[in-house]
Structure 1
Amino acid sequence: MMKQAILIPALLAAATAGCTTVHTNQVVAAPSAEEAAVKAAVLDYFQGQGQASADRLNKAFAEDVAVMVSPAREGPGFQRREMSEIIPAWASNSNPIGERSDYSFLSVEIVDDRLATVTFRSTDRFYDALTLIKHSGEWQIVAKAYVPQ
């Protein structure tokens, strides 16, 4: 009986090692002003694309330096495109889908109030990993990596 009394807690400890307990009654803090500003920049991109709004897209991206990377459409490897080529194409869409609400922020990480990474999901379309830099007081996307769903 003594061996069982020691063995059962040891097995439970081993089985739950590395697990995180989530309490559903925890209060979630409101996002910081920086997090809200980062999310606003991401939504300028997402909604700007849906609205074919050059203003919102140019506000969201550091157009002169921003890049987009994705898996190659055919075969192995990746494709890399400059946002300075993509933004005009998105903004000239003659049949934009309009403002959308089918998205979610999977994570937002801010480092030193100047660098942010965001993982973002457009429901049933794609996953984005975005890198933003705060420059002259504004958050802008400098890199977009995505995979289709």
Structure 2
Amino acid sequence: MSSLWWSLRLRREASSVPLARKLLLESMESARVDPEIAYELSLALSEACANAVEHGEADDPGAYRVSAYLDGDRCRIEVADSGPGFARGARGCSRAEPSRSQVAWDAEHGRGLFLIESLADHVRFRNRPGSGGAVVSFDKVLRPGGGTLLPAS
């Protein structure tokens, strides 16, 4: 099987989220990924990007990074920002590490990370070492709608 990889450095603006989502959907379509799975991953990506836009460093309009890897029957996505990261103990970060039991069904905020967990097979939330910021990584097994994924080279 062949593989596909891309990485974007996007401005921390709401208008950047649809760009990342569109690139992922087009990549999945060219790889002949089942449209339902492609939609689920694009929704998870949108949530991760929206979190990066919202929680990035307030006084830094800067950027965030989105990477996607389609390799064989798996897709891995990573979104990294420059914000305060996830809280660990009493570090005083503005964003707590998600927990399914902490999110109310009618909450106005905080459901994005829960949604990512629900749509992906494996999710990892961590802080970037050194420079700060949060990293959300998730992957999913791709089940083709018909035929193989990414034609062999």
Give the TM-score of the pair, scaled to structure 1: 0.28
Largest Rg, 1 or 2: 1
Higher relative contact order (CA 8 A, sep 6+): 2
Larger proportion of strand: 1
